[in-house]
Chain A
């Protein structure tokens, strides 16, 4: 809501020295938030005066333009009293017209300084201004010609024209619909000065005598009084369709953020801004028979005045005449009865509409309008007659019309609402000490009538406060008037908490582990598209292609919720590579969305708690959203330097990182080779813990690296972190270890290349018996000496007994037993 300060002052006697800044600040603290403060015209300086065109000579120019060399009387404003010679490019004025002249030394908006200058063969000593140059409107077809009685030559234009003002733009919350009007803003200003200042008298623009309804009014029938509880119609005939909108009115409409159009339309808008009640004007000559308000028939058509053909729903409220619908009630008028430049007979409609119906119709037809915005939030149902009367007054005064004696009124405003609360409720909820009298006077200040009975009070809500429905609404009114700044600061007495949950603690551990291992955490948007999944090389049946799609995605390229963290991570790696950072190790923990066949989520009642079954139904409708850990490592994992060459990232980094995380959580994982996109078919590890599949890690398929633009041999992993966290060890049992000497045995085993290290290691473990303390692979050799298609794996076995020093014989026997199992299971041959 944009409110010019001069307009606010029409309804409230604010202190003369009050600045717009201060008023805006004080109203912000009261609940009308300052959005912006503008000072139109304040960057314009004189001499800017009225002038009368004494004579001019038209001079055609070689460029095809015609200019006028004018002599303009500006009286003594130029210091000489002689006519001012000015070149003017406009042709829309005549000798004797009163115009606005800026003399040399003046400055127009935008810092445009005026000086005498030579142009078209004359010295032009100033400029005749257009409305646009003065920022009084959009009109730039010609200069501004003032009404003959606007003033005298030489008068200071700032005293004649509404050039300067201060406009406060408020952000109006949905509950304060009454403040979408000067009436409401002024009321808040008066309230502020009544409560926190010396008082300020408020003049309600809607408080005016109105004629009684009578039988001579335009016939109106309302079929749906719930949808349209009040319908008032007045009529003005004999309008001069050419009558201009007075400058002050056009200026106020413009400053309030709307566009002046024509006198009749401007008046309806002006009164809407003034009182907050939307108004519709019909060209009465184009109406066919009586007006009827009803719900539309499903499929009925209406062309609204934005020339859109709209198919109506049975829920829409329509205004009809004998021709059918002529308007979407309260939202937008129809084209057939629209006022035009030939309209001389106007029917003024001021009607109250059901806000919910307004909201639905506006949304259904994607219509937002100044009228709709007010009607869907709720307007004062007691002022339609006053608003209609004000429109009639202005049409008569400025359009030369005659007020028709007929006054139509159908329905009536609902009885005022009452709310009963404990007198001390505002104090109890706010924590401020508020005396009972203060509570009462605050509610009275916002317009309530208050009756106190014992420790209860009943407030009768003023009709413009359609938002006040609940006891706590009254609390807010009292507290904002007492002052939010008076709320004391007290810590609540929370009971002893249990700290972070197990999962919350473990997730922190995962992040710290990876950061400690050199990984950088990133955040990605969870949106994904078919192309992203194609680039991963997923086949058609891959379960990661089953995505939840958004009805209104921001990008049609990525319309779905992702099932894997890898696309986001790979994009991020590629972005880093593009910025000269190809060597990256990235990780992300985020939920992925795995949809399953599900019914709709119910819309449950809100007047009670849902049953356990209903609550469960909500969750059943939601997709699974497990927390995943994804990581990508590209380029050099270890840098080259003075210590020697670096080490390129590879599958082992991805597998190693997953193992590292599992170790941090105390989870024993096993790894086996599998084939799965987007990994290299020979370099992909499946990570499991027992029969729980945790995820995959390894080097990416070269095609994937190329498709995503990441360095060749980029490695990646993705793990179901929720599954991993479930397996985490909660209480680590303390180890018991022997202090007897250790016995080491190294064995080199030659096996077929296809045999995995994990298999051999497991065989050694199984064969070595209880004396085995640890096994560690320390070398892999695949050269000639191992033989074609074979490799040599060197393990160090450590043996120790809990109760004695092992003999050489015991150690050798254990080693031989281990090797024997490896030989049996893996075909291992011990190298000499």
Chain B
């Protein structure tokens, strides 16, 4: 490698001979070609294209030449420097490409290593399921109504045509609060929200009310003192059972897929008349002969009991300040827990309330 030309003396300068410049150029190009990596090339650049490289020094000497020689020498040196710079650039490109190629190989990692440093969160399927249900109705223009869990007896029962002496009071085993003569209960259904809605709004009313409700049921695989209901209420002019059926069919399809509809069976609820139980067409076997017989979801029925519904009893409208001569309404209610149990094959209701992180985690953040 050439060192700096330290004993250069401009007075003793010799005319820049073509052979000499050629030699400098050859030496530089050879060194560039020989540079094996970017570090070596850096040194080559310094030696052959740096400020104190032979060609740079030669370039400086041009000024000392007689004018007639300057042009020729200038051209010669300039061409040599150009060729060196070009070679440097080309070599740099090659070496950089090689370098990157090598780095990429060296940087290979095991991408199968686990990356679960932060745990995964999730929302409870009852929450996301309730939201899914709410969204189905909100998309139809309904709104989501809410109310308190600790509720006045009058709103939970009396306003819904369930007076104190109604035999159906015993159908719902109620949690009473102390003192008992304060007439405050844990709501046994979300129907008091319907009553509140009717008491605070004027028709047209289109609401859906999801929420937690309480009954004095011992806790086991299919019963719980707390569970979740979703109820719907529509009060408008000209509302019929057909609108009820249409809404429930739409709900069923949204939750369980195309072709899944509902069936009504006569039933009894004090707050509706006529009343019906709603069955959902089994979304597994669809009641198709040959499959329904062995279906475990509907136990061979082709239908799954889903909830209750009916035309709002005019007595309820009256108690809630709505003119039963002008308006009719319908209401329905079903268990959210139960709906999710058969939708997702949950076999033990307690999984919903025990909070084992593996349960909610399986459902992620949407259902």
Which residues of A come within 8 Å of B, CB atoms? 28-31, 33, 173-176, 355-356, 359-360, 363, 376-377, 428-432, 470-473, 475-476, 479-480, 484-485, 487-501, 504, 508, 511-512, 514-527, 548-554, 561, 572, 575-576, 579, 581, 583-586, 590-591, 593, 598-610, 615, 618-619, 621-623, 625, 637-639, 641-643
As a 0/1 sequence over residues 78 to 116 of chain B, the CB contacts with chain A under 8 angstroms (1 = contact) are 000000000000000000000000000000000001101
- Please give, as numbers and ranges, the residues of chain B lying within 8 Å of A623 by CB-CB distance: 150
**Residue from A491, A518, A549, A583 having most chain B Cβ neighbours under 10 A:** A491
B residues in contact with A551, CB < 8 Å: 175-180
Known contacts A521-B122, A521-B127; A603/B158 CB under 8 A = yes
Q: Given contacts A576-B355, A643-B117, are A33 and B267 in contact (CB under 8 A)? A: yes
Alpha-carbon separation in the docked complex, A607 to B144 (Å): 28
5 contacts between A and B (CB under 8 A): A490-B240, A498-B143, A501-B144, A515-B122, A621-B182
Distance in angstroms from B229 CB to nearest chain A CB is 14
Known A-B contacts A359-B167, A489-B245, A515-B121; the reply to A622 vs B206 at CB < 8 A is: no
| Contact A173 B274, beta carbon cutoff 8 Å | no
A520 touching B122, Cβ below 8 Å: yes
Q: Which residues of B contact A (CB under 8 A)?
A: 113-114, 116-124, 126-127, 131, 134, 138, 140-144, 146, 148-155, 158-159, 161, 163-168, 170-171, 175-184, 186, 199, 204, 206, 212, 216, 218-219, 225-226, 234, 236, 239-247, 249-250, 261, 263-268, 273-277, 311, 313-315, 318-321, 328, 352-358, 360-361, 365
- A638→B149 CA distance, assembly (Å): 37
Contact of A576 among B226, B245, B319, B357 (CB under 8 A): B357
Q: Contacts A606-B161, A610-B199 given: A523-B124 contact, CB under 8 Å?
A: yes
Roughly how many angstroms separate A609 CA and B202 CA in the complex, as a whole number?
13
Q: Is there an interface contact between A494 and B152, defined as CB atoms closer than 8 Å? A: no
* A431-B242 contact given A29-B266, A550-B178, CB 8 Å threshold: yes
Query: Would A492 and B236 count as touching, CB distance under 8 A?
Result: yes
Residues of chain A lying within 8 A (CB to CB) of residue B239: 492
Given A523-B353, A601-B184, A515 contacting B365 (CB threshold 8 A) = yes
Cα A501 to Cα B277 with chains together (Å): 31
Contacts of A522 in B (CB 8 A): 124, 355, 357, 360
Cα–Cα distance between A523 and B120 once the two chains are bound (Å): 18
The answer to whether residues A476 and B274 also contact, given A603-B158, A603-B183 and a CB cut-off of 8 A, is: yes
| B315 and A470 contacting across the interface, CB-CB below 8 Å | yes
Q: Which residue of A lies closest to B168 (CB)?
A: A174
The answer, among A485, A500, A609, for a CB contact under 8 Å with B144, is A500
Residues of B within 8 A of A579 (CB): 356
| A548 pairs with B121, CB closer than 8 A | no
Complex Cα–Cα for A549 and B263 (A): 42
Contacts of A605 in B (CB 8 A): 319
Q: Which A residues touch B150, using CB under 8 A?
A: 548, 561, 593, 622-623, 625
Complex formed: what's the CA distance from A707 to B14 in Å?
A: 98
Determine whether the beta carbon of A429 is less than 8 Å from that of B274: yes
- Interchain residue pairs A-B with the least CB separation, the first 6: A609-B321, A431-B242, A431-B240, A173-B268, A31-B266, A476-B274
For the complex formed, measure the closest distance between the CB of B58 and the CB atoms of chain A, giving whole angstroms: 44
Among A175, A492, A494: residue with most chain B CB under 10 A: A492
Which residue of chain B lies nearest to A607 when distances are taken between CB atoms in the complex?
Answer: B318
For the complex, give the distance between the alpha carbons of A376 and B241 in Å: 30
A488/B356 contact (C-beta < 8 A), A607-B318, A622-B148 known: no
- Contact status A550-B267, CB under 8 Å: no
In contact, A476 and B178 (Cβ under 8 angstroms): no
Report the bound CA distance from A493 to B140 in whole Å.
9
| CB-contact partner of B184 in A173, A607, A621, A639, under 8 A | A621
> Is the pair A524, B143 in contact by a Cβ cutoff of 8 Å?
no
Q: Which residue of A lies closest to B262 (CB)?
A: A489
Contacts A176-B268, A497-B142, A511-B123 given; does A602 touch B148 at CB 8 Å:
no
**Across the interface, which residues of A come within 8 angstroms of B149, CB to CB?**
526, 591, 593, 625
* Closest residue of B by beta carbon distance from A377: B167
| B114 and A642 contacting across the interface, CB-CB below 8 Å | yes
B265–A28 CB distance below 8 A: yes
The contact of B360 among A521, A549, A554, by CB within 8 Å, is: A521
B166 CB contacts on chain A under 8 angstroms: 174
Q: Which residues on B sit within 8 Å (CB–CB) of A360? A: 165
Question: Which A residues lie within 8 Å of B199 (CB)?
Answer: 609-610, 615
Chain B residues with CB below 8 A from A492, complex form: 206, 234, 236, 239, 243, 246-247
Decide if B123 touches A512 in the complex (CB within 8 Å): yes
List, in ascending order, chain A residues with CB within 8 A of B119's CB.
Answer: 518, 583, 585, 637, 639
Partner of A497, one of B143, B154, B180, B321: B143
Which of B127, B140, B199 has the most A CB atoms < 10 Å from its CB?
B127
Q: Identify 11 new A-B residue pairs, CB closer than 8 A, beyond the known A600-B181, A625-B148.
A: A356-B165, A479-B266, A488-B245, A490-B243, A492-B246, A551-B177, A561-B177, A591-B148, A610-B321, A638-B117, A641-B117
- Nearest Cβ on chain A to B156's Cβ, whole angstroms: 10
Closest to A356 in B: B165
| Separation of A175 and B158 alpha carbons in the complex (Å) | 17
Contact at A554–B263, with CB atoms within 8 Å?
Answer: no
Q: How far is the CB of B252 from chain A (nearest CB, A)?
A: 10
Q: Which residues of B contact A489 (CB under 8 A)?
A: 242, 245-246, 249, 261
Closest residue of chain A to B140, judged by CB? A494
A430 close to B241 (CB less than 8 A):
yes
* Alpha-carbon distance between A489 and B260 when the two chains are bound, in angstroms: 13
Cβ A552 vs Cβ B357 within 8 A: no
Q: Give which listed residue, B175, B176, B243, contacts A491 with CB less than 8 A.
A: B243
A490-B245, A576-B355 given; A639·B177 CB < 8 A = no
Assembled-state Cα–Cα distance A430/B168 (Å): 24
Cα A601 to Cα B321 with chains together (Å): 19
Contacts known (A33-B265, A432-B242, A572-B354); A638 close to B118, Cβ less than 8 A: yes
Say whether, besides A504-B144, A514-B121, A586-B355, A622 and B216 are in contact (CB < 8 Å). Answer: no
Establish whether residues A600 and B159, one from each chain, have CB atoms under 8 Å apart when the complex forms.
no
Docked CA distance A320–B328 (Å) = 49
Which of B114, B148, B163, B361 has most A Cβ within 10 Å? Answer: B148
Nearest B residue to A519 via CB reads B121
Which of these, A491, A517, A526, A575, contacts B250 with CB under 8 Å? Answer: A491
Contact indicator B353/A524 (Cβ below 8 Å): yes
Within 8 Å CB of B134, what residues of A?
A: 500, 504
Which residues of B have CB within 8 Å of A512?
123, 365
* Complex contacts, A621 vs chain B, CB 8 Å: 152, 182-184
B165 touches A431 (CB 8 A): no
**Which residues on A sit within 8 Å (CB–CB) of B265?**
28-29, 31, 33, 484
Given A487-B245, A609-B319, the answer on whether A470 and B177 have CB atoms closer than 8 Å is: no
Q: When the two chains form their complex, are residues A31 and B267 in contact, meaning their CB atoms are under 8 A apart?
A: yes
Question: CA of A473 to CA of B266 in the docked complex: distance in angstroms?
Answer: 12
State whether A518 touches B121 (Cβ < 8 A): yes
Tell me if A606 and B158 are in contact (CB < 8 A): yes
Measured CB to CB, the nearest residue on chain B to A579 is: B356
Question: Quick one: given A174-B171, A489-B242, are A606 and B159 in contact (CB under 8 Å)?
Answer: yes
Pick the residue among A504, A518, A591 that contacts B118 (CB under 8 A): A518
Q: Is the CB of B274 within 8 A of A174?
A: no
**B241, A523: Cβ atoms closer than 8 Å:** no
Contacts of A29 in B (CB 8 A): 265-266
B357 contacts which of A496, A517, A584 (Cβ < 8 Å)?
Answer: A584
**Cβ-defined contact, A606 with B315, below 8 A:** yes
Distance in angstroms from B255 CB to nearest chain A CB is: 16
Q: Is the CB of A484 within 8 A of B158?
A: no
Q: With A and B bound together, what is the CA distance between A395 and B321 in angstroms? A: 56
- With the chains together, A470 CA to B273 CA distance in Å? 9
Q: Which residue of A lies closest to B124 (CB)?
A: A521
Residues from chain A with Cβ under 8 Å of B155 in the complex: 618
Q: Are A604 and B154 in contact (CB under 8 A)?
A: yes
- Tell me the bound Cα distance from A609 to B155 in angstroms: 12
Distance between A694 CB and nearest chain B CB, rounded to angstroms: 21
Chain B residues in 8 Å Cβ range of A363: 170
